[in-house]
Amino acid sequence: MRQPVSWVASACVGFVRACVVVVVAMLVPAVWAAAVVLWIWWWGGDPWSGIVPLLWACIGTLALSRPVCRMVRSLVAKWTGTVIPAGYRQAGPVTRMSTGYWWNGYSYERTDRDARQDQKMRIWWSDPATWRDLRFTGIAPVTVGVIAAVPPAGAAAAVLGLSQPALSARLAGVLGLVVAIAGAPYAWRAVEPVAVRFLRASPAMTMADRVDELTAQRADTTVAQAAEIRRIERDLHDGAQARLVALGLSLATAEKLMETNPDQARALMREARVGAATSLTELRDLVKGISPPVLNERGLVDAVRALGLDSPLEATVDADVQLRLDPPIESALYFGIAELLTNAAKHAHASRARISIARDDTAVIVDVEDNGRGGAGVNAGGGLDGLRRRLAAFDGTVEITSPAGGPTRVRMVVPCESL
């Protein structure tokens, strides 16, 4: 009994999916069919009357190609679990220059809006993924669309045939019903191999995108390193260096007063000792900010636990105590967790946080959850954007779930096959 029920369920689900595939695959042909109807209605013997329908069809095709391919990728991922990367090029930052013009990576524009529109059009026109989408919208109707149309066409033939009194029509209706039922579980499955074949980027395009990504990561790393060097220089100049200069002046004055005013000299030496202790503390804090000693000595887990103890939040850490990673990865994850705890306390007004550090066969996974007010997002140049760029250097990803009202959950995943 279970097998017939399973077959009926599979046929019903397959029939619905086949109908969805037909609708999605035939959207662009429907635009061209509408253009033909418009041309027939408009045509009055003038050969130029076909220009408007042709423009209608071309604009409709360009406008629908990307949404159609996004729907196909989404359906394939939902139905089969096969993820087809879109590979669309992302827009870079738009910067205002000292002259007042806006630079979008391609040209200078008078306003921010004009710069972004120009950038969007240039990226769309030069993106290989755009032409892949157009190619797929031309191939899908005659491949996926035709195959997926078999069950709906069989069902339509069954309805029309069985509603007629003639025996031949009824036989055709029964045949159509058999075709619809037999083909429903399989007709929609053609969408996966066709989509994978024509929507997935070629190896050369994938390599080019990877080169662009690594170039951007190198630029981000260079900028981050320069900013870090400036921060260290500023901290040294404004903190320890100023105190050490003052310490030298105090010792020089004390040396001069040693014979004439010993009490004043001793007071200056006491102040110098306090200044030396303060300078030492500042230097230790500076070194801790660059590379925490506990991170180098005891690893990521103990360093995060120490971070949780110093945090104003009630932080709990759940982790594998045996976890050891390469020092650059540990440093990136440590400072990422520190950034998230700071944001939770400063911006989300959270009181508790939970940190989970785990690993599987291919990656290390860090989850940070707080009970704050939520609403966190990635803003260009913000802390979360910097965290994403920092982990991208290791092919890592950051996933943020932060509905209004909370809680906020952030997952950092860094591939680490050498664990």
| Residue whose token pair is 């066709």 | 194
In terms of Cβ atoms closer than 10 Å to its own Cβ (0-12, 13-18, 19+), residue 232 is: middle
Q: In angstroms, rounded to a whole number, what is the distance separating the alpha carbons of residues 183 and 152?
A: 10
3-state secondary structure of 363: strand
Domains and CATH numbers, the chain: 2-84+128-201 (no CATH), 89-126 (no CATH), 204-290 (1.20.5), 297-415 (3.30.565.10)
pLDDT more than 90, % of the chain:
2
Provide the pLDDT for residue 1.
44
3 state SS for 116-162:
HHHHHHHHHHHCHHHHHHHHHHHHHHHCHHHHHCHHHHHHHHHHHHH
Q: In angstroms, rounded to a whole number, what is the distance separating the alpha carbons of residues 294 and 296?
A: 5
Please give the residue that has the higher pLDDT: either 172 or 275.
172
Name, in order, each residue with C-beta under 8 angstroms of 342's C-beta and a sequence gap of 6 or more. 383
In terms of Cβ atoms closer than 10 Å to its own Cβ (0-12, 13-18, 19+), residue 173 is: buried
DSSP 302-358: HHHHHHHHHSSSEEEEEE-TT----HHHHHHHHHHHHHHHHHHHHTS--SEEEEEEE
Provide the pLDDT for residue 378.
65
Name, in order, each residue with C-beta under 8 angstroms of 279's C-beta and a sequence gap of 6 or more. 239, 240, 243, 244, 247
Q: What's the token pair of residue 111? A: 């306003």
Provide the pLDDT for residue 106.
79
Provide the pLDDT for residue 209.
65
Q: In angstroms, rounded to a whole number, what is the distance separating the alpha carbons of residues 130 and 388?
A: 26
Residue closest to 68 by CA, chosen among 134, 156, 165: 134
How many angstroms separate the first and last alpha carbons of the chain?
Answer: 49
Flag whether pLDDT at 271 surpasses 60: yes
Q: Angle at which helices 27-42 and 51-80 pack, to 10 degrees?
A: 160
Please give the residue that has the higher pLDDT: either 288 or 66.
66
Q: Kindly report, residue by residue over 170-211, the tens digit of the pLDDT.
A: 888 888 888 888 888 888 888 888 988 888 876 666 676 666
In terms of Cβ atoms closer than 10 Å to its own Cβ (0-12, 13-18, 19+), residue 56 is: middle
What's the chain's average pLDDT?
Answer: 77
pTM of the model: 0.54
Provide the pLDDT for residue 49.
63
Q: Kindly report, residue by residue over 378-398, the tens digit of the pLDDT.
A: 666 566 777 777 777 777 888
